[in-house]
Amino acid sequence: MTRKILVTSALPYANGSIHLGHLVEYIQTDIWVRYQKLLGNECYYMCADDTHGTPVMLSAKRRNLAPEELIAQMHAEHSADFAAFNIGFDNYYSTNSPENKALSELFYRQARAKGLIYEQDISQAYCEKCRMFLPDRFIKGVCPQCGAAEQYGDSCEVCSATYSPLDLLDAHCTECGGAPVQKNSVHYFFKLSAMTAELLAWVQAGHIHTEIYNKLQEWFKQGLHDWDISRDAPYFGFQIPGTDHKYFYVWLDAPVGYIATTQNFCAQNGKNFEDIWIKPGFEIHHFIGKDILYFHTLFWPAMLLAAGFRTPDQVHIHGFLTVNGEKMSKSRGTFIQARRYINAGLNPEYLRYYYASKLGASLNDIDLNIADFAYKVNSDIVNKLVNIGSRLGSIVHKKLHGRLTAPDAAGQAVLAEINAAQSGIGQAYEELEYHKAAREIMRLADAANKYINDSAPWHVVKTDPERAAQICTAGLNCLKTLTAYIKPILPLTAAGVEKFLNCGELNFQNAADILTHCQINVYEHLAQRVDEKEISAKLLG
């Protein structure tokens, strides 16, 4: 039965460039989406730039731009970077949209009608030098829970604790370095505490990984805190209806952007977004990093429940990226932007494969080790996978008139082994255990190469062209099926193999079909070896 699936990734902030850490999530999501589509499922991938908040406003001011001009520039940059890494969004939109404004106001009105919004006079951090209330990300200090230094004003990246900016120790304004003072202002709060029972029921219904469930239990035991959803002017965002100088906190309208992006997509494609977000029938899957799990597993489901929208079926959460074993750092040169990778002339498919070879369903961080990266590219992609095509393609065209025949008995046995692995590889993709899928595909590539080595068609063709044709046919059919399996990870490489074998578009439904008695095209170079020192110089030098 065909599944209907909506998939989202966390929205990249419109205040900075895409870096290799960001790409862990978008590559992870894209692989899963491509797998679903290769199964024949109706699957849509939505994302958008997260555009609101004080950081965007101040960044635009520093560049002498209007905020709208800055976010337009960043949208173009982000779109180009994602396209370079073959991230296949069905719609890449913006949270600064008319759809998002209307939906954010709807969410607010629905929550208010249910008595979930209240006003409260609060004391906030205020920078007298900058003349503004400081948003969470413009205050840094020592975490009040674990003592980690240089943590932001809303949550700790070390222990995941959430708190008020006023709870930070030794706090300072990130703009001017001055110590903030306290100043009162009326703010609007969402009664998260009133939804404890509903949220607990949602959490217990299996929508999150066990590892996350255990973390959430700690927060439920502590008691859920009501959520400040407003910010004071000056602020770039949507004004709260019926107020003067009060704006929705960016974390309210940002996730609503998932729905707004879907609505925009549906309007352009003759569909109704309510069929996805309100009525039953579609699965909704969010992919996020572990640093924003509180927002996506508590705040966001609460907002959806209050507004009468469907809650996500699954929230998939991944860890961070380290480079050569260290946290990404500008000072150490390990904070690598996506554009630097592209400008260095490195193949984006190589990074996709490397991440896939490391990614599982847990929250564990993954490490981009340059030596290991070079080894995996050379060993797996070059020597194991595309090597099949380069070795056999020349024989077929130089000696066998570019035609395939039928596989021999030994080749049929290898093909049977490869075909039998499809369900296990598919399950690994479905469960986000990409490292298992990659490992199994390369094990099977080893088996195919062993068959080719043992059969030695380059020798056989001299005395028995018909037998050599059978060997080449078997070997290239091994390549065809393995390409279908790895296509979610390496879509461009797969397209090259499809062109070479003249076999049409491969998917998980036709992967086991055998190409026989047909013409293939001349083999064109699909991958090249990389050098560890050269990569280090280009990315870290």
275-317 residue pLDDT tens: 999 999 999 999 999 999 989 999 999 999 999 999 999 999 9
Query: Residue 214: pLDDT band by 50, 70, 90 thresholds?
Result: confident
Q: Domain boundaries in the chain?
A: 4-114+193-228+249-350, 117-190, 380-525
Q: How confident is the model at residue 525, as a pLDDT? A: 93
pLDDT band at 81 (very low <50, low <70, confident <90, very high): very high
Position of tokens 């239990």?
Answer: 217
Q: Are strands 246-248 and 227-228 parallel, antiparallel or unpaired?
A: unpaired
pLDDT of residue 331: 65
DSSP 137: G
Residue 288 CB partners (closer than 8 Å, separation 6+) = 9, 10, 25, 296, 315, 316, 317, 318
CB 78 within 8 A of CB 22: no
Q: Provide the pairing of β-strand 230-232 with 246-248.
A: antiparallel
Q: Which range is least confidently modeled, 221-225, 431-435, 495-499?
A: 221-225
Position 209, amino acid: H
Mean pLDDT computed over every residue of the chain: 95
pLDDT of residue 310: 97
Instruction: Give the lowest-confidence range in 23-37, 238-252, 266-280, 319-333.
Output: 319-333
Is the confidence at residue 347, as pLDDT, over 70? yes
CATH pick for 380-525 out of 3.40.50.1820, 3.10.20.30, 2.40.110.10, 1.10.730.10: 1.10.730.10
> Beta partners for 326?
323
> Could you give the percent of the chain with pLDDT greater than 70?
99
The pLDDT value given to residue 155: 84
- pLDDT given at position 492: 98
- pLDDT for 433-480, tens place per residue? 999 999 999 999 999 999 999 999 999 999 999 999 999 999 999 999
Lateral strand order in the sheet of 326-327 = 326-327, 321-323, 366-368
* Helix%, strand%, coil% for the chain, nearest 5: 50, 15, 35
**In this predicted structure, what is the pLDDT of residue 100?**
98
Q: Which residues contact 335 (CB under 8 A, 6 or more apart)?
A: 19, 328, 329
Contacts (Cβ under 8 Å, ≥6 apart) of 201: none
Q: Scanning the structure block, which residue is given the tokens 């064109």?
A: 524
Share of the chain above pLDDT 90, in %: 86
Whether residue 91 is predicted with pLDDT greater than 80 in this model: the reply is: yes
Residues 126-177 have pLDDT tens digits of 999 888 888 777 899 999 999 999 998 888 888 888 888 888 999 999 889 9
Task: Return d(Cα 144, Cα 155) in angstroms, integer.
Answer: 10
**pTM confidence score:** 0.93
Side-chain half-sphere of 395: how many Cα atoms within 13 Å?
A: 27
Calpha distance 385→495 (Å, rounded): 14
pLDDT of residue 70: 97
How many angstroms separate the CA atoms of 195 and 224, rounded?
A: 9
Note the Cα 503 to chain centre separation in Å.
30
CA-wise closest residue to 17 among 94, 91, 75, 65: 75
Q: In terms of CATH architecture, what is 4-114+193-228+249-350?
A: 3-Layer(aba) Sandwich (3.40)
Domain 117-190 has CATH 3.90.870.40: no
Sign of the Cα torsion 418, 419, 421, 426 reads positive
Q: How far apart are CA 128 and CA 201, in angstroms?
A: 45
The CA distance from 490 to 474, in Å, is 22
Q: Report how far residue 351's alpha carbon sits from residue 348's, in angstroms, rounded to the nearest whole number.
A: 5
Rounded-to-integer distance, Cα 303 and Cα 195, Å: 10
Mean pLDDT of the region 91-119: 98
Between CA 503 and CA 519 the distance in angstroms is 10
pLDDT of res. 210? 82
Given the structure tokens 């404004």, which residue do they identify? 101
Q: What's the pLDDT at 153?
A: 86
Q: Which residues of 464-495 are buried (b: 16+ CB within 10 A; e: fewer)?
A: ebeebbbbbbbbbbbbbbbbbbbbbbbbebbb
Helix (H, G, I), strand (E, B) or coil at 124: strand
pLDDT digits (tens, 9 = 90+) for 178-191: 999 989 999 999 99
3-state secondary structure of 232: strand
- Helix and strand numbers (H, E) in the chain are 21, 17
